[in-house]
Amino acid sequence: MTEWINVVVQGVLIGGLYAMFAAGLSLIFGVMRLVNIAHGDFIVLAAYMALVAAAALGLNPIAATVIVAPAMAALGYVLQRLLLNRTLGDDLLPPLLVTFGLSVIIQNGLLELFTADSRRLQAGAIEVASLQVAPGISVGVLPLLQFVAAIAVIGGLQALFYRTAVGRAFRATSDDPSVAQLMGLDNRHVFALAMALSLAVVAIAGVLLAVRTNFDPAIGPARLIFGFEAVIIGGLGNLWGTLAGGIVLGVAQAIGAKLDPGWQLLAGHLAFLLVLAVRPEGLFPRIRG
Amino acid sequence: MSAFQVRFADRRSEISLAVFGALIVILGFAPLWAGRDGLRLLGEIFAYVALASLWNLLAGYAGLVSVGQQAFVGLGGYMLFGLAILAGVPPLWAIPAAGLIGAVAAVPVAALVFRLRGHYFAIGTWVIAEVFRLLASQVSVLGGGSGTSLPSGIVIAIAQSRATREFMIYWIALALAVAILGLILLLLRSRYGLALTAIRDNELAALSNGVDVARVKLVVYVLAGGGTAMVGALIFLQKLRISPDAAFSVNDWTAFVIFITVIGGIGRIEGPIVGTIVFFALRQTLADHGTLYLLMLGAVAIVVMLKAPKGIWGVIVEKLDWQVFPLQRRVVFGAQSELRSLSEKEKE
């Protein structure tokens, strides 16, 4: 019994990480209807940036987030202004193709720079530390930190969306970009801010991923899929739903892995397809537009 | 005699179609003039022309922007290996069988992914491909996660000498690419073609004019699934080795195919052919610089999408109003053969 409780607890905690992958994806889709195919590759890029920053400055990789997050945000802002804003419109192919192109460029660029060897961020003693929460059930400090970070990120985004001027601008452009523009908002700037915020979240997720598991330039697309599945399971446009979606995905994977190591990813995908077949609008939808 | 006729071909497209036919005949005799490496390269080119043409049919005409066609490439490849190794089916027969299975498999897949719209449809198809990949890596008789090779007995049974075998596989590749192009051409000239062109130009308008959009999309998705599975079977017959990662690679069978189609010209039947030539030209010139050609390919695709979204062929059509494959309907009035091109209207 405690064995299974452990499995579920692990699944819930990893679900927080998936929710963080999903939050950035959901944010830009909500604001500008853009699905960023390179999202997973940005997560990996952030991990490599943390690797370089930690090595160059002798920082703990988790502390390197302080550098990586603003750097990724700046990258997101510039990318949106120079490239992605031009792809937005009624046709879904341009943003899809351009972000696919970025995905291939990032993957192969990282491959040229860092080779295909898998890396890992060394965070020190925190990696193996754990807390005993009940007899037979212990929780790793690092997974717990990830989960708390996920709640903080999602709570922060929620507050930003509903309590700040920038959030109001996001919601306004999301509801109707042309009216928002008439009211004096510069959509190009608003979209760029949204992408900057998305990539800042990506940076946090990327560092936390890289402390926990090995990474190499090719693992991005799978992270994109996890994030996407969490968004759909949770229901479009609902950030807390996205957290629930991440948890469902994480628990499904943990149970699958417990049954047979080969079933870990499969179980997650099947949970997603099941939700899609039975409840295509997701578990907690807040349908917009 | 009626006052007017609807014609597809004009003088120039008749000439260019004849040139294209002659080119295919010349390519048919390639074993006489090309070396082993040349044949292998051409075979790969034909496979990409076929894949890109099928994706173009999906995305360019039916508005189904799938990023999960690797599901069918891999399925076709695994069906070839499964049928040949486990059921003793001769590999050449396994290719059409794989196509049939691909088409059948496309039906339940469509039932699931058609619930998603737009971008989410795209990534949904990708998830399906991941599920296929993970299932394939569970099949231990076909090598599980590390894959397997086609046993030499089966390979030799195709033809005794290596040269004959390579010629046969080459001709199959050529025939498959030509057949798929021909089928797409026929489809586009049929009533479905009119419906598809209408959907391409404006889905809502097509719907309000009585086009059964859902049905047309399903038909196209199933046909593309079957065709892609056949190409997949062929690709892994060329390689003689399969693994889940190679068979269900999103980069090899979808990203590059999308770049090819967009660079060449999406929504035009000539586009994928032009794009494939660009892709292989880049790959061959930059062959010594590792993955540089992939970086270039991604960059070229982005630039084309932003600067000339209709692709290379789209630019040619706009400047010269030229089509190799007669698809546009032109109305010819009376005996004077007063030609009124509909092309102006269609462009709007």
Lowest average pLDDT, out of A117-131, B127-141, B228-242, goes to A117-131
| Contact assignment for A229 to B118 by CB distance below 8 Å | no
Report the alpha-carbon angle A47-A6-A271, nearest 5: 70
- Most B CBs within 10 Å: which of A108, A112, A216, A233, as the mutation test of the B interface? A108
- Give the model confidence (pLDDT) of B207-266 as tens digits: 888 888 889 999 999 999 999 999 999 999 999 999 999 999 998 999 999 999 999 999
The pLDDT score that the predictor gives to residue A287 is 52
| Contact assignment for B127 to A225 by CB distance below 8 Å | yes
- Most A CBs within 10 Å: which of B109, B120, B306, as the mutation test of the A interface? B120
- Give the model confidence (pLDDT) of B76-98 as tens digits: 999 999 999 999 899 889 999 99
Interface of B with A (CB under 8 A): 59, 65, 67, 112, 115-116, 118-120, 122-124, 126-128, 130-131, 134-135, 137-138, 145, 250-251, 255, 258-259, 262, 266, 290-292, 294-295, 297-299, 301-302, 305-306, 309
| Contact assignment for A93 to B134 by CB distance below 8 Å | no
Task: Kindly report the average pLDDT of chain A as a whole number.
Answer: 90
Structure tokens at B31: 């074993």
For A265, the closest of B126, B134, B292 (CB atoms) is B134
- Distances in Å between the Cα of B173 and the Cα atoms of A201, B45, B75, B81, B229 are 47, 9, 18, 17, 13
Residue labelled with tokens 């550098």: A67
Q: Are A155 and A20 in contact (CB under 8 A)?
A: no
Say whether residue A226 is in contact with chain B using an 8 A CB cutoff: no
Q: Where are the domains of chain A?
A: 2-278
Of residues A223 and B289, more confidently modeled? A223
Chain A CB contacts of B302 below 8 Å: 83, 97-98, 101-102
Of residues A198 and B293, more confidently modeled? A198
Q: Extract the runs of DSSP E, i.e. beta strands, from chain A.
A: 130-134, 137-140
Angstroms from A124 CA to nearest CA on chain B: 33
CA B315 to chain centre: 21
> In the CATH scheme, what is the code of domain A2-278?
1.10.3470
| Contact assignment for A96 to B115 by CB distance below 8 Å | no
d(CA B80, CA B74): 10
- Give the model confidence (pLDDT) of A206-246 as tens digits: 999 998 889 999 999 999 999 999 998 988 778 889 999 99
pTM of the model: 0.89
The pLDDT score that the predictor gives to residue B18 is 86
Structure tokens at B307: 């600067």
Indicate whether B53 pLDDT > 60: yes
The three-class DSSP label of residue A19 is: helix
Query: Who's near A288: CB < 8 A, 6+ residues apart?
Result: A30, A174, A175, A236, A237
For A232, the closest of B67, B120, B299 (CB atoms) is B120
Indicate whether B339 pLDDT > 50: no
Angstroms from B131 CA to nearest CA on chain A: 6
Chain B CB contacts of A256 below 8 Å: none
Q: Are B50 and B180 in contact (CB under 8 A)?
A: yes
Q: Are B137 and B144 in contact (CB under 8 A)?
A: yes
